[in-house]
Every structure is written in structure tokens, then in C-alpha cells.
Structure 1
Amino acid sequence: MKERIRALAPFALDVVLPIAAYWLLHTVFGLSPFWALGIGGLATMVNAIATTVRRGKLDGFGILVVVEVALSVVLLFVSGDPRVLLLKPAFFVGVAGVYALGTLFVGHPLVLDTGRPFATGGDPRMADAYDRSWEASRPFRTAIRSVTVVWGLGFLLDAVLRVLIVYRFPPEEITDSLLLSQVPLLAVLVVIIGYTRLRMRRVRPIVLAARDGRPPGYPGAPAGHAG
């Protein structure tokens, strides 16, 4: 889990940094929205390059970040429209949505891995039972896949709504669009986290049964446990 957090932290920073830079440069130092967002975008690219150098390798995510940021900065200066950089989070969230849905067809669903620490609490026996449940239990697989679908679609919905909101406002109202473009993600997260909690309630009893060696159909077992 810690390794996943460390791996994702630079990319989370790449989403947050332009917004933080905008507020600092525009609100505190009085730079125009154009220059505030432009400098924030350049800072993001520098951070992505520094992270890649520190890790000592250029992977797919590193290339994606550098290329996307460089492209958005070029478009900013060519078009003169600061709204271009506000689309950066939509890009990353959209990619995350496509990736989540893609894991339904290639490899294992994203939530199978991300949900393991929460369902097992770091207990090796629970982790083993969790993996065995994926192989043996149809309700387990259904819950994992459905939650993955909801996260993927939720991310894609946020990306689309973010683009619509950003371009709903003219460039001179960039502060308003910056604030309102964050609303869809908050609303989407509330819905999909609530759905995740409801669906994952079916997962832990199955894992506990597998850990304890209880056979399918034990009293209180979810229907179809044997898959």
C-alpha cells in the first residue's frame, strides 16, 4: 500500500500543483491568470522531469506526464487561453477511468488490488483468503467488477463535466471556472465511495469464510458463494 501511495504521489502533485501555483501567483503576487497558470504548468513539468530523474528510469507514466504538460503549456502560449491548463486534471482523470475499465478485460480488475488492504487489514491469512475468493466466489468477482466499473465511469464522467464547466466560462472568468471545475469530482467521489462501501460489504464475509475454511452454503453465507 505504501509503495502504491509513493508511486501515485507525484502524479497527484502534478494535478494539484498548477492550482496551488495559480492561487499563490495570482492572488498573492497579482500576476495575470495567463502567467499564473502558465508558470504553474511549467512547474509541473519540472516536477515530472525531476521525479523521473530521481527514480532513474523513464516509464510510461513519466512520459505521459511530461508530454501532456509540455503540450498543454505550448497550447497555452499559442492560444493565449489560460483555460487550457484547467483541462489537465480532466486528462489524468479520464486516463484513470479508461485504465480502470480496461482492467476488466486485461489482467485483474483495478479494485481487486486497491481493495485488498481494506478487506484484509494486512493479515497474511486474510490476504491469501482474499485471493482464493477471487478464484472461487462468483459474488466476490461480481462485487469487485461492479465497483471497478463504477470508478471507471465516475472518472470519465468527471473528465467530461470538467471540460464542459471550464469552457462554460470565458477566459477572463478563469477563477470561477477553476473553482466550479472541482465540484464534479467531489460529487462523483461521494457517490462512488458510497456505492463502494455498500458493495464491498459482500466481500468481507466471503473472505472470512475462505479464511476459516467454511464450506459454501454455511449459515449466513452469501448466496452463490461457490461460484
Structure 2
Amino acid sequence: MTTTQQIAAGQTTEPTKVQGPLGSLLSLVMDIGLPLGTYYLLKNAFGVDVITALIVSGLVPAARTIWTTVRSGKPDQFALAVLIVTVISIPITLLTGSPTFMLAKEGLGTATLGIYIAVMALRQQPVMTAAFKPFIANSVRKSAAWDEFMVSSPAFRALLVRANMVWAIGFVVEVAARLLIVFTQPFDTAVWATNIPLYVTIVGCSIVQRRWLVPVAAMVNTAAGEK
């Protein structure tokens, strides 16, 4: 239900910080559990109509996206785009009276992200490098080696481009799976089931990307003289 908002919130967090288990659990509750709980509570316990329940439940991750952007101290274009899509979708949903649109529109942000990653990768500007670097270049010497390879090694950059393309393809596939769920499953099922493709995508891409990130890590470790 909040795929693109979850991604945007992740994009705005500082890349050098790695969440601990408690922080990750809290983020999971905020991004999925709280919106879903809010939706079902409003709809089933208080008899709120479906569209209103969807809109209110979607405000939680939207607020988190704004908060992480403010906390990072710098604007994030993708997060801003997600918020714009969310704001625009609310009056459209109210005018059309289609709660299905409210679920389906999340795919717009994810598809845009996938296309953006692919285009930048093809331009030899892998935008997810900032997400990869903290896990691989986790020391001063490794960071220096990473930066040097980014400037001087086409082979190094090619590996990162391929790892980026894994995520670009994954996000586009996620959109197709989301739309399939939205238009083939009962609405109450689709509300929670549309979260499944995102997490399958994250796990799948994290596994597949190793084919290219393992050699990246090996190059960095060798150059830095560390393991």
C-alpha cells in the first residue's frame, strides 16, 4: 500500500548510517504495520469508508518521508516526487470514487524509480552507489580505494552499473506484480498483499546483486590491504 513512500524514506536517510535490528523493526512497523493497522481499524472498528481509510492510513508513511527529508537537511527529488504523486492521487481518488486507483498509483512511483535507475546506469552514473558504498567501503582506506576506482577504473564502474540494473529491473517487475494483485484479488486482500512484491524484490535483488558486488568488494579490499 505504501511502496514508493517506503523507498523514498529509505532514499532520504543518511547512507553512512546502518540501522540496528531495533531500528529496522521500528521502520518495518512504521512503514507496513501501522498503516495497515490504521486502515483496518478505521474500516472495521469505526465503519469509515474504504477511500477515507486508505487516505488516512497513507498519511503515516508520507509523514515519515517528510521527516526523514527534513532530518537529512537536504532535499530529495525522488521523495518530493513521491509526495507530489500522493497529494495528487488523493483528490483524483475522491473524484473517481475508486479505491483501487489508490492502491494502483503506488506503482507509478516505483516504476519511475526503476526507470530512473536504469537510465542513470546506462549513462554510467549508477545512482545506488551511495547505498552500496557504506556496506563495502566501511573504513577510511576502503573508502579512499572506492573513490579512486570510481575515477580510474571502467571495470569497477561497469560492475556497479550491472548491480544497479538488477534493482532497475526488479522495481519494474515489482510494479507488474503489484498491478496483478490489485486487479485480480479482493480489495481487502490487495490492501496487504500489495506489500509482498516489494519485499520479494528487495530480497531477490539483494541476492542477485552479489554476482557483481562481490568482485567490487574484492577490488576494494585488495587495494586497501584489508579483508
Give the alignment's TM-score, normalised by structure 2. Answer: 0.72
Residue of structure 2 in register with 1:74 after alignment: 91
The yes-or-no answer on 1:149 pairing with 2:165 is yes
Residue of structure 2 in register with 1:196 after alignment: 209
CA separation of 1:174 and 1:104: change in aligned 2, threshold 3 A: same
Residue of structure 1 in register with 2:179 after alignment: 163
Q: How far, CA to CA, are the matches of 2:220 and 2:52 in structure 1?
A: 53
CA separation of 1:30 and 1:60: change in aligned 2, threshold 3 A: same
**1:85 Cα shift?**
1.6
Residue of structure 2 in register with 1:33 after alignment: 50
Q: Is the Cα contact below 8 Å between 2:129 and 2:160 reproduced in 1?
A: yes
Q: How far, CA to CA, are the matches of 2:14 and 2:120 in structure 1?
A: 20
Give the alignment's TM-score, normalised by structure 1. Answer: 0.72
Q: Which runs of 5+ in 1 are unaligned?
A: 7-11, 214-227
**1:61 Cα shift?**
4.2
2:190 to 142, 166, 177: 177
Q: Is the Cα contact below 8 Å between 1:109 and 1:145 reproduced in 2?
A: yes
Higher relative contact order (CA 8 A, sep 6+): 2
One-letter code of the match for 1:91? L
CA separation of 1:62 and 1:13: change in aligned 2, threshold 3 A: farther
Deviations 1:107-130 (A, max 9, x none): 620232211111111x11110101
Residue of structure 1 in register with 2:144 after alignment: 128
Q: Is the Cα contact below 8 Å between 1:129 and 1:207 reproduced in 2?
A: yes
Q: Is the Cα contact below 8 Å between 1:94 and 1:156 reproduced in 2?
A: yes
**1:153 Cα shift?**
0.9
Q: How far, CA to CA, are the matches of 1:52 and 1:207 in structure 2?
A: 31
Correspondence 1:206-225 to 2 at 5 A? 206-212=219-225
Residue of structure 1 in register with 2:4 after alignment: none
Q: Is the Cα contact below 8 Å between 1:96 and 1:155 reproduced in 2?
A: yes
The yes-or-no answer on 1:98 pairing with 2:93 is no
Q: Which moved more, 1:46-55 or 1:83-92?
A: 46-55
Residue of structure 2 in register with 1:225 after alignment: none
1:89 to 98, 103, 106: 106
Q: How far, CA to CA, are the matches of 1:190 and 1:159 in structure 2?
A: 16
Q: Is the Cα contact below 8 Å between 2:15 and 2:130 reproduced in 1?
A: no
Q: Is the Cα contact below 8 Å between 1:41 and 1:85 reproduced in 2?
A: no
Residues paired across the two proteins, number: 205
Residue of structure 2 in register with 1:217 after alignment: none
**1:183 Cα shift?**
2.5
One-letter code of the match for 1:64? A
